[in-house]
Each structure stands twice: as structure tokens, then as C-alpha cells.
Structure 1
Amino acid sequence: MTWNGRGRVKVETDWAEFLSRHDMTWSVRPLSWNEGAFIGNGLLGAMVYGEEHRSKRNVLRFVLGRTDVTVQRADGGGFPPRVPIGELDLELEGMIYQPADIRLDLWNAELRAHLPTTKGEVRLRAFIHSEEEEDILLIELHTSSGERNARFQWYAYPDVDPVLKNADGINFNQYLPKTDVQLGEREGVQWGKQTYPSGEGCLTAWKEKRPASDHRVLYLTVAGGAGESDIQQAVGSIQSASNRSVEAYAVTHRSWWHHYYPLSFVSIPDTRLEGFYWIQMYKLASATRAHRLIIDNQGPWLTTTPWPGVWFNMNVQMSYSPVYTSNRLDIGQSLLNALDRSREQLIRNVPEPYRYDSAGLGRSCSYDLASNVEDEVGNLTWLLHSVWRHYRATMDDEMLRTLLYPLLRRSVNYYLHILEEGEDGHCHMPPTISPEYGSFKRLTVRNCHYDLALLRWGCTTLLAICDRLSIEDELSDRWEEVLDRLAPYPYDEQQGFLIGQNTPMEFGHRHFSHLLAAFPLHLIGETEEDKDKIRRTLRHWIGREGDLRGFSFTGAASVAAILGSGSEALRYLHTLMHLIKPNTMYREAGPVIESPLAGAEAIHDLLLQSWGGVIRVFPAVPDEWDAAVFHHLRAEGAFLVSAERRGSRTQWVRVESLAGEPCRIRTDWPVDGIAVDSDRPLVIKPCGDGIIELDLRKGEEAVLYPKGEAADFTVRPVAAEPGLCQYFGGYKPWRLYGLPLQE
């Protein structure tokens, strides 16, 4: 299938073929959450894997999750955590043998498997329907004669066999409520209800159909409550789904995904990283949707964890980071909706004396965003930077006026209340927490870089908003005063930027909180002096080793990309590949979904950056890459940008203006050597430092290319390294070392 681009650029991408090179595959059934096959529709999810214990080698598990199933703790402590809700097991007559053939088909968002057993074989396909009103898991099964007695069996969480329940470890910090389980049947639909002491609960309903003795289809749904209305609704959903043919149901499921993927296109010569990138695009849409809940620490795939909720000192911000450049703004809408729903709660999060004009957000909470602000002050402001990125990608002034401006004003006001006057004439930040530095010590530092950067960004952005919307805000003079008098970022000639005043980085630090002014806020980075400071800080930070984690290396990669150090950034990304799990998930003591998602954003930063009013095309391509291509990545100012690099040179750049904003671009061409193809004559205005400005009006496009060279404005995938296709899923490290494998 070929998808044609608009205008001068033609897109020749057979999406089914292209994405098939990155399908996750297993030749041996996955045996843990770390390597399971995951499916989801933004609310309902399933992680599919088995177990090696001799008593369970005949079982393929569909461990279920629904993101809104939370429970009030009986002890009254902490926020309402997510809780496990059980699983559907395929229990076979024989033990699952090898070689199996399991594939997660990205293009169709379907799991397909051929499982040989010691008694016969089964063929299976499964998907969770993509439409938001269809929270249905469908599993189709074909069996040989020796496996005719294979069965599906649902287990409430308390009834899961301990061998399976504890297969991914035990975390004694995880709250597991007492659960009452009831089973029933209505209108031919089986249901199981789990009720917690608080009265909350969930309900699972399912129905199995047998078109033939060797063919069966199971439909399952999970409701986020345990009342009579939940039973009735779940039964109705199952009846409706089961009355349609499997193929008709699959067509509507696939249609959503076939629209989703072509929103943008990225292809790079590092086939393993390319596959990783596209699995993150799949993961994003499996984890949330516009009208679903905010992305938490694990998405719908809950497992053993001490973090069954939402964290805001990095996790949510990094989870949403690839949404904007990848042009998948529908995913980002879930964050906007969460903030809009929780305005009053964000006000209640700050101490009572400040609620009249302030708002804030603590470190962690449930989906209600109820988290009191204590010593970690800047989390809401950073979260609103993600909203600012959404705005800059759309230039939606209505969202700016009604959501971002009032919330950012309140967030900055809280900072203004706690600022301290210094005898040196500066405004100083009182002792606050720099996220993840000295966490167990509850270490606070004066003039923390994290908070200085966020306050500086907040004041700068509020002034820009007022200018944009012609608002005369009574606080404008105060914001300007803060920008003039705010204490500088603490800095040391050996270490670079410090954690805070008189606080050098004395031990390993996994967070880039002391580099926030550079990334992602982009308050610094334009001048060579800035770059030298950033480079010194980056090298000292990573060189300390210590507590480095997956998200340390995604942040380091993006910081290196700001400096134009593509090969260094690539090394950080390759390090990340050693830390993620075989299915591209990431976990420490529990799942933390943000690290791989932020890895996708770091790949964007190698190809396209847009900050400081400039679109930077191929700003940090590694020396190792002689080719790369992307189509319809989205830049600040609401521009869709496409470009191709071949033979280590940029061949052409296409830019389309969606909002008529100023269009300033930097490429690797000399300014006087650029030709323009457009519907009307466009003047190239040099702006210095390799930047040009194009007078593009809303709805117009232009293609840039080197003068005197014939350019082929066609988007095609970069050739793949065959040995590294379908790398993820089952663990395949030997493919990296050129072992003589059969193709």
C-alpha cells in the first residue's frame, strides 16, 4: 500500500511491509512481564506470557489491566493505588513446546501465535478493539485434535495460582486489598465481580462461542465498577460484540490503527533503533487516547510495583514528550483533559493561605491529581511546559487562553509567594528538593536549579502569552522584575551547573533536574558559552556513574543533541537499549514506562528540533548515519516538516504552515545555495547563524533543496539491516554480533 503525501512530496511507504520489519517476535513463548506481548486500547490492556514452572508449562496468560481500577486504602494512608485485577488463562492439554511462532503485528495491532504442544498445536490471534466505546478483548483459537479440550479460564486476582501470581516477584510496598469475589451468569455471559472493603471494585465479563469443534472465539471486557449497572453494561457490550463476525470486528479495529500510524513517518539506518521507535508509537496509543486517563507509571499493564500511580517529577512529562514532534496530538489531549478536570484539586494542593491565587502538584497521586505541594515545588510548572509544547504544536489560542494561561499563572504565583529577598539584590529560592537528588535524605537545597529554571520559564512564558493574547495582566511588572532579579543558576567551572547553591553533585544522580534550563526548557543553548557550560555539566553528570538509570540516558541523549553531538547522543541511546527489557518495556523496582517513550523523543532530537523560534533540520545526525528520512514531524509554530538525508547530506526539506506563524529554518546548506519550490515566489531572508526566514502563509508549503541539484522529493524507508529486523520481543542479543544465522 502506498500513501501519497500532499503537494510536492510523494510518500511511497507500504506501511504493512514497513512496520512488519519491526513486529515483535518470539520463537519461544515469553516467560515474564519483561518480555511479554502487550496489547491495549488506552484503557484496557493485556500482557501475554507464560510460566516455566513444570506445573504451568501448559498455560498462556493474558494478565489483564484497566487503568481506572483503583481502591481507597483501608489504612487511610497514601493515594488510591491501582490494583491487579486478575487474568484470563489459556490452559492447554499439553505443555507448550518450541519452536513457537509468536508475532505482535504492529500495523494491525494484533497478536498472532502458533503454539506447538506435547499433545498437538493451537493457532491464536488476539486484539483489544481500538475504538473507545469497544473495550473488548477478542481471542480467536484454532486447535488440533489433541488440543480440543484446551480451555479459557478467568481468575480473579485472589484466585490466581501463587506460582503465576508471584512469577514477576513480590513487592511488599504494593497495596493489595482484601477482595470479595462473586461469579455469575446473565444472558449467556459469564461474569466475575471483585469488590474491595471500600465498596469499590471491578467486573470482568466474557463469553465464548464455538463456530466449530476446532474453532472458538472468546470476548472479554472489564468494567471499572462492581455495581448492577456495571454488570448490565458489561453484559450488553459482550453481547453486542459477539453478534458481529470476527472479521467485521477486526476491520473496524484495524481502521483506527491504519489512520494512526501515517500521521508521521521516521526511518533511520540503525534498524534496531528504528524498530524501537515504532514500538514506542504503538505503545503510546495502547497506553492512552484523547478521552482516556493520563499516562501513569505503567500504562494498562500493571504488575508487581511500588509505584501504582502517577508521578510528576519526571515520569508524566517524559511519557508525553514524543507526542508533539511525532504529530500524535490526540494522545496528548489526555493530559490536557486531566488538567482541565482537576483545576480545583490543583488549587487545593497548595497550602490554604495561597489558594486564592495559586495551584500546584506534589510528586505522586492517583488520577484525581490530589497531591499536596511540599518541598518539591515545580512539578506543575514542568507539567505545564508539556501543555505549552502542545500549544506551540497547534497554535490553538483558545486552549492557551482557557487552560494554559490560568493554570500557569497560578503555578508561578506559588513560586512568587515563597521567593526570598536577598541582601545582594537578587530574588532567591528557599530550600527545595531537586528531584531524585538525595531522595532518601530528603535533601533540600537553596536556589535549586530545577526551580530557578522553571520559574524563569514560567515568567517568560506568561509574558509571551499576554503579548500573544493582548492581555494586560496586573502581574506583568512582577514577572519582569523576577526575570531581572532572579538568582543565577549555581555554576562551577569543573562540574558545570550545580544542583543548587553550594550543592555540587557529590554522588550519582539519575535525574537531569540540574540541566532543566537546557533540556527540556531550552532557556539556554544558543551561544557557544552556553554550549560549553552544558557540555561540561553533561560530561560530569554521566561521568559520575553511580545512580544512572534508563531515563538518565534518554535525557543525556537529548542534551547531547542540543549541542549537535549526534554520535555522543547515539551512544547514550545504545546504552539505553541495554537497559530496556526485551519487549521495550522498562522497570526498576516496578514498571516505569517513561524511559522508553523518552527514548523516542531523543530520536526526534537527532532529526528535528524546534525551539527558540527556529526549526532545526537534521541538527544532530550521528556520523554513523549516512541516511535518514522523516515526513510530517511537527515543529513549534504548527509546521509539518519533512526531509531526507542521503550520502551524509540533506537532500531536501519540505515545510507546511498550518497557522501562518513566522517560519525560520536552519539546515546544513549555505544560505546563498538554497532553492525554493513553492506555489508563489518566496524570498529567502537570511537571519544569521545559518538561519533563513520564509514568508509562508497559513496552508502554504515550500520545498527547499540545494541550488543546481536535481532533487527527488520522495519519501521512502531507509534500507534495513536484515539481521536486526524484528529484534524485539524474544531476547535476541546475538543478532548484534553478526553470528551466522539463517535468513
Structure 2
Amino acid sequence: MKTTVDWPSFMARHDMTWSVKPVSWDEGAFIGNGVIGAMIYSEEHRDKRNVLRFVLGCTDVTAHKPGGGFPPRVPVGELHLELAGWYYQPSSIRVDLWNAELRADITTTVGTVKVRAFVHSQDRVLAVELETSEGEKDARMEWYAHSEVDPVLKNADGSNLNQFIPKAEVTRQAKEDGLTVGVQRFEYDGGCTTAWMEAQADEGANLRRLWLSIGNGFSDQVQQNTETNVRKAATQPWMAWVEAHRSWWHDYYPQSFVSIPDTMLEGFYWVQMYKLASATRSDGMIMDNQGPWLTTTPWAGVWFNMNVQMSYSPVYTSGRLELGESLVRAFRDNMEQLIRNVPEQYREDSAGLGRSMSYDLVGPVGTEVGNLTWVCHNLWRHYRHAMDTPMLKELLFPLLKRSVQYYLHLLEEGDDGKLHLPPMISPEYGSFLQLAVPDTHYDLALLRWGCQTLLRICSILGLEDPGRPRWEETLEQLTPLPVDETGFMVGGGQPLEFGHRHFSHLMAVFPLHLMSGDAPEERELIVRSLRHWLSREGDLRGFTFTGAASIAAAVGEGDEALKYLKTLMHLLKPNTMYKEAGPVIESPLAGAEAIHDMLLQSWGEEIRVFPAVPSEWKEVVFHDLRAEGAFVVSATRSEGATAWIRVKSLAGQPCRIKTDMLGDIRVSASSAVQLHSLGGGVYELELAQGEEAVLYSANHTAAHSWEIQPVPAESHLCGYFGGRKPWRLYGLPIQ
């Protein structure tokens, strides 16, 4: 197999681009390294038309509130490029995805400025390079604490009375070597330290550079660390430091490859891969609702009734598992707090997680019970895609046991002899009514998945756990998921009566995959439930359509899944961000997961290759996507048919492939690998760890065509995201 992806040119087709200046967060250019980020945009108010804003974010900076409540994320300040003239037209801004940097050519009323900016991939430092014309030689970079930002700018994206912004005491100190330190001490507790240094570049009189770092807190040690970050970066040879930044990204992107004939969706997918690694790193904080790009929001925290779980969903199939380590580590480090989240009488054997909290996971469990079990599903996916046995044994098994045990304390036997759950909240349904219903689909599905998975883990680890009889009994006696003539109900006696943005009443289908839809009656129930849900319209949001796309993909409805994804595109901001009063990053990231679900699924016992490809996608290719069992899978589809599939085993697990390839299916392997047909398009391969094999149709392809190369792009849809440009969708002439 040959890979001929010219990565720099392939990624360049999807760079985010602007031909007019962005004037809001919704269309800003974003950069980040999982800790520090900046959203970059300008302003149309006549008093501030000379300003290009770098709205800074730092994911670990939180502040305590008076009167309790979790400590939310708070703004850390801004860096302003204050131009000599007004920022005017023409303008050209590009976020170079391959190199993870912003480049802008700015025209003002008195001259021009070239801007280059990136957040270093390995150092906690933002760098900005300016090259000015003579007329703009007085352009300058200025740092402002959030409290010092002009109200014209501070309120440009709206004011939200629900957001806590602490009062801050701000001090500045200039050091002898030209470094400046700005310290913000928040009123009740906490603060942050920003250090920056600007220097003339050796390459030219009109070229200068600025390095900036942000630290959480204001102690002497934090200040020293932040200053060291800047000084170390500023004394590095510039190009060597830039290359170190780029090399991380150049290693990151080729971990897997996806190319589809819908150029806009292909571009969307790769912007999400960029966003994912800009928002979290293995040693960073949990990915919260906004990543490093905090703005006006009521959601300045971590939400666990869907947001975190779906934000991490694309790391598994894309094989970018190191990014999922931030979630793994957070739950490993906070086990004692998860125990304290349940009422005291249950702490001996249980644990739980509320809806919203800060990074410390202090979130007492109320009547929304299943959130920790859903996180355990993410951890299970991480295990299955990596086959990381120590993580399974040391973290997931004990955590899932405690999560399930809390449910078991709440179960009650009904008059029908079945086990029932008391009234609970199904996430997002009837939220303003605080509607609690018995036997919610959300909780029954999570409990059933939890018991099944505990039994499976015991089998994997060879354990005889004393909880086994109770888990088996629960599976036998647990009341079935409530169903009526419209499909799955929200809970016992509670049909889906009005629009519902969450797929909490469909959890058994996605993401838990408790049912496959292979049986006709099961498939009919899934499709009926899905279409009734969407037919209610009502409060449909971005993640509504990502969930719908993944559910449609689970039953092979690729054309329907594509319609849901295309609907999502209308709900996103031009830069692919998403808001519901404030940023909620999970919806676009879950859109990338929906694309995965159309190309490769591996829940259950089979690896499904091209399970839900839309009929209009005649040419599709993916390379090194990851499947459960730690398999690396590549495949191409040509002229509407699957041509070949390569699978490599990283862990020596049993391997079954389900494919729509027709005719004489053959195998090519480096050893005497046997291919067994099990019927229904399912083939079994016996692959040892490290072995790989290619399945191919003798009627369709030959060995010389086993090549990974991008699908040709629609040129007018390249660079679609960034600034708003809907005219590109309709064939209008552009240059």
C-alpha cells in the first residue's frame, strides 16, 4: 500500500480564510495549544477601528465566587495591535492549518502591516510577529487586563448578566531586560499573571516580535515561571523555535487521514482536528464548553450531561488518543471527589457526577444520575481503541463499579416483578419544569450498559468479582426501555411530547449501541424514534443534528445522516464555532465524530467499513482510522463501491470485518493469514499483534492501486470556513 498525501497542500485547501476583517468572536481566527489560546478579530466602532484584538484565554484560570458555587473560568485579558490608521480594505487573513499559525495582510488608511501569530505547540507562549510599512511604523502591541479593556470592545459580543467576572487588582512591573509583568489579583480568590516582551528582529528595521505567556495565580513562583517562559522563548533562535512548533503539528495531523467528495464537509472535518488539538492536550485540563477561547457566556465551566463526553468523541476513531488522556487523568486524579459527590450513606461503594462544575469535579449528584456512567463509556472507548489494560484495571473498572452501584442503591422492585428507577431528570427534556420521570431511557440504558460492561471486564481480566450476581440479576430483571407508538419514550409514562434538543431518550442507540438495528423490528423502532424526534422541531440545536447523524449512520442510513450534517453547517458560526448563549464546543466536534460514524464503526463484535456512506459520495478514502480492539484501518471507495480494506492489529485481538464488497473477496498478507467468510458480508481474520492484511475484490482492484490519495476537491469550496461566504455554495463566480 502506498500513501501519496502531500500534507502541506492538502491541508492548505482547508485553511480558514478571510477577505474582510472579522468583527466578532463568531467569525474570529483562533489559535491555541490546549492551554493558552487567542481569538483574533477587529471592531467596527469608529473609536476602535484601529484595533486588532487578540482576546486571550487560559484554560486553567478560574475564580471563586461569593456565596458559593463552582469556580468558573474567567477572562484573562487581551493583547491589542493598535494601528496608526484605521483597519480598512483590502484585507487577507489565513489560518494555516498545517503550520497552526495565523497570517494576515492588513491595509490601513496610512499603510500596511503583516501579522504572523501562533501559540507554540510545546511552550506556554503566544508569539506575534509584525512587519510594518513606513506609514504604520508607530503601530504597537498593548496588553490590557480584562477590567481595563475599553467597554466598546468588552461588550462587542454582548453582555451576559449570568457570567461571573471578578473584580481584579491589576499591577504592572517593567523589568530591566524589557520584559513586563501584569498581575491580576481577583477579589475573592485566585488571579493570573501575564508576562510579555517585545524585541526588534534582526532581519529588518520594520520587523519586530512579541512573546507572551499566561500563568494561573499570582504567587512569586507563578510569576517566575511565567517570566521564564517568555525569556526562554525570546532567546531561542527564531526559526528553530518556529520549526519546533510546526514539527508537533506535522506529526499530529498524519496520525490518520480522511478525504471525502464533499469539500465543505471535508474542510469542516479538518478544522475540527485542528480545533481539537488547539483545545486540549494530554497534560491539559478537561475540555470544557469553550476551550481556550472564552467569551461572553453563562457556561464558563464543565458540563457532563453531554458536553464533555461529545467533545472527546472524535479522539477515538481518529486515533488521536493522546488528546483523550486529559479526560483519563482528570478522573484518575479526582476519584475521592467523585465518591464525595454521592450522599454520605452511599460513599462506601458508590460515586457520581453532577451536571456542571469546575475542573475539580466537585458536583454533587442530584436527580440527573447517569453522567458519570456516560463518562465511563468514553473511558471504555479509550480502552477499546488502545487496549490499555492497566487503565482498564486501575481506573475504569473501579470507577464503573461505583457508578453502577449508585444506581443499584436506587432500584426498586415493582408490582410487575421488574426493577425500576425512581423519578430522575432526562437531560434537557423539560429543563425549565425540572421534569423528573421514573424509568428514564437515559438512566435505564446507561445502567444496562454499565452492568454488561462490568461483566465483560471481569471476563477480560479473569476476575471473580462479588458484584457479578447482582449485575446479572439486574440485567435479567431491569424493566425494558419505555416505548410507545412514536418510538422510544423519555421515561415511564412520559412520551416525547414536544421538541427536545438532546438525544438522551435515544442513548441505547447512540452512543451506547445496546441495539444494532440488524433485526428488522429493532431497526424499525430506531428509525421511527429518530424521525419522530426530529419531526417535533421545537428546540433543535447543533448537537441535535450530530446525534441524529450518528444514529442514522448506526442503521446504515447514510443519505439521511448527510442531511443532518448539512443542517448542522447552517447552525455553526463562520469559523466553525458554535454558541447557545455562549460557546459550546462539543457540537462541531461531535460533527466530526458523525463523519467517522459514516466511514467506520467498530462497536459490538464487528468492524464496519463504510457502513453509512451517502449515495452521492462515489469516491471516499480514509487511512489509519482506529477501531475497537486496537486495529488500524484504511480503505478506499471508488465509483460507488468499496475497492479494498487494509487492517493492522496492534494488540492481537479477534478481528471481524463487515463490508459491502462484492464478488470474489481475497486477502493479501505478509504471512499465512486466513480469511473466513461468516456470511452477510462479515469476514474473520486471524491477525497476530503487528500483522496486517488487505481485503480486496478481485473484480474491482489490483495490488498496484492500493493507494491513499486525496479525493479531488471542489475549488470554490476550498477555504470555505473563516469569514462568512455563503455565496460559495451556489456557484456564484469568485476569484
**TM-score (ref. length: structure 1):** 0.97
The Cα of 1:503 is off from its aligned counterpart by 0.3
Equivalent runs, 1:76-95 vs 2, <5 Å: 76=68, 78-95=69-86
- Does the aligned pair in 2 maintain the 1:206–1:220 contact within 8 Å? yes
Aligned to 2:730: 737
Equivalent runs, 1:169-568 vs 2, <5 Å: 169-186=158-175, 187-211=177-201, 212-493=204-485, 495-525=486-516, 526-568=518-560
Give 2:135's match in structure 1, choosing from 146, 154, 162. Answer: 146
Q: Give the CA RMSD over aligned residues.
A: 0.9
Change (3 A) 1:726 1:255: same
The Cα of 1:683 is off from its aligned counterpart by 2.4
1:506-553 Cα offsets, whole Å, 9 max, x none, are: 111000000000000000123221111010000000000000000000
Residue 723 (str. 1) matches residue 723 (str. 2): no
- The one-letter code matched in structure 2 to 1:690 is G
- Does the aligned pair in 2 maintain the 1:148–1:213 contact within 8 Å? no
The Cα of 1:232 is off from its aligned counterpart by 1.5
CA distance in 1 between partners of 2:690 and 2:730 (Å): 48
CA distance in 2 between partners of 1:314 and 1:47 (Å): 25
Aligned to 1:4: none
Task: Report the secondary structure of 1:221's partner residue.
Answer: strand
The Cα of 1:684 is off from its aligned counterpart by 2.0
CA distance in 2 between partners of 1:309 and 1:709 (Å): 52
CA distance in 2 between partners of 1:436 and 1:155 (Å): 38
CA distance in 2 between partners of 1:468 and 1:237 (Å): 45
1:363-389 Cα offsets, whole Å, 9 max, x none, are: 000000100001000000001100000
The Cα of 1:156 is off from its aligned counterpart by 0.3
Task: Report the secondary structure of 1:97's partner residue.
Answer: strand
- The one-letter code matched in structure 2 to 1:323 is V
CA distance in 2 between partners of 1:408 and 1:567 (Å): 36
Residue 70 (str. 1) matches residue 59 (str. 2): no
Aligned length: 729
Equivalent runs, 1:15-54 vs 2, <5 Å: 15-54=7-46
The Cα of 1:157 is off from its aligned counterpart by 0.4
Give 1:161's match in structure 2, choosing from 131, 141, 150. Answer: 150
1:615-653 Cα offsets, whole Å, 9 max, x none, are: 000000001111100000000111000000010011100
CA distance in 1 between partners of 2:690 and 2:465 (Å): 33
Residue 682 (str. 1) matches residue 673 (str. 2): yes
Equivalent runs, 1:120-139 vs 2, <5 Å: 120-131=111-122, 134-139=123-128
1:426-471 Cα offsets, whole Å, 9 max, x none, are: 0001100000000010000111000000000000000000011011
1:340-374 Cα offsets, whole Å, 9 max, x none, are: 01100000000000000000000000000100001
The Cα of 1:686 is off from its aligned counterpart by 2.3
The Cα of 1:740 is off from its aligned counterpart by 1.8
- The one-letter code matched in structure 2 to 1:721 is E
CA distance in 2 between partners of 1:210 and 1:709 (Å): 61
- Does the aligned pair in 1 maintain the 2:63–2:71 contact within 8 Å? yes
The Cα of 1:180 is off from its aligned counterpart by 0.6
CA distance in 1 between partners of 2:302 and 2:520 (Å): 38
CA distance in 2 between partners of 1:103 and 1:156 (Å): 27
- The one-letter code matched in structure 1 to 2:132 is T
- The one-letter code matched in structure 1 to 2:721 is F
The Cα of 1:709 is off from its aligned counterpart by 4.1
Task: Report the secondary structure of 2:546's partner residue.
Answer: helix
Task: Report the secondary structure of 1:173's partner residue.
Answer: coil
Equivalent pairs: percent with the same residue? 63
- Does the aligned pair in 2 maintain the 1:71–1:81 contact within 8 Å? yes
- Does the aligned pair in 1 maintain the 2:490–2:505 contact within 8 Å? yes
CA distance in 2 between partners of 1:520 and 1:457 (Å): 11
- Does the aligned pair in 1 maintain the 2:643–2:661 contact within 8 Å? no
Is the deviation greater in 609-618 or in 206-215? 206-215
The Cα of 1:423 is off from its aligned counterpart by 1.4
Task: Report the secondary structure of 2:446's partner residue.
Answer: helix
Is the deviation greater in 683-692 or in 557-566? 683-692
Task: Report the secondary structure of 2:565's partner residue.
Answer: helix
The Cα of 1:687 is off from its aligned counterpart by 2.3
Give 1:577's match in structure 2, choosing from 555, 569, 575. Answer: 569
The Cα of 1:708 is off from its aligned counterpart by 4.4
CA distance in 1 between partners of 2:696 and 2:679 (Å): 19
- Does the aligned pair in 2 maintain the 1:194–1:203 contact within 8 Å? yes
CA distance in 1 between partners of 2:186 and 2:83 (Å): 32
CA distance in 1 between partners of 2:224 and 2:693 (Å): 55
CA distance in 1 between partners of 2:234 and 2:568 (Å): 43
- Does the aligned pair in 1 maintain the 2:178–2:198 contact within 8 Å? no
1:51-101 Cα offsets, whole Å, 9 max, x none, are: 11011111000000001100110232x100010111000000111111211
Where in structure 1 do 4 or more consecutive aligned residues deviate above 3 Å? Answer: none
Equivalent runs, 1:597-676 vs 2, <5 Å: 597-670=589-662, 673-676=664-667
Structure 1: 5+ residue runs without aligned partners? 1-8
CA distance in 2 between partners of 1:31 and 1:75 (Å): 36
- The one-letter code matched in structure 2 to 1:121 is T
- The one-letter code matched in structure 1 to 2:216 is G
CA distance in 2 between partners of 1:52 and 1:318 (Å): 35
- The one-letter code matched in structure 2 to 1:45 is G
CA distance in 1 between partners of 2:616 and 2:385 (Å): 30
The Cα of 1:673 is off from its aligned counterpart by 1.9
CA distance in 2 between partners of 1:682 and 1:213 (Å): 65
- Does the aligned pair in 1 maintain the 2:644–2:701 contact within 8 Å? no
Aligned to 1:5: none
CA distance in 2 between partners of 1:632 and 1:126 (Å): 31
CA distance in 2 between partners of 1:724 and 1:683 (Å): 44
- Does the aligned pair in 2 maintain the 1:74–1:197 contact within 8 Å? no
CA distance in 1 between partners of 2:189 and 2:384 (Å): 43
- The one-letter code matched in structure 2 to 1:700 is E
- Does the aligned pair in 1 maintain the 2:673–2:686 contact within 8 Å? yes
- Does the aligned pair in 2 maintain the 1:613–1:636 contact within 8 Å? no
The Cα of 1:188 is off from its aligned counterpart by 2.4
Aligned to 1:108: 99
The Cα of 1:10 is off from its aligned counterpart by 1.0
CA distance in 2 between partners of 1:708 and 1:491 (Å): 45
- The one-letter code matched in structure 1 to 2:167 is K
Structure 2: 5+ residue runs without aligned partners? none
- The one-letter code matched in structure 2 to 1:725 is C
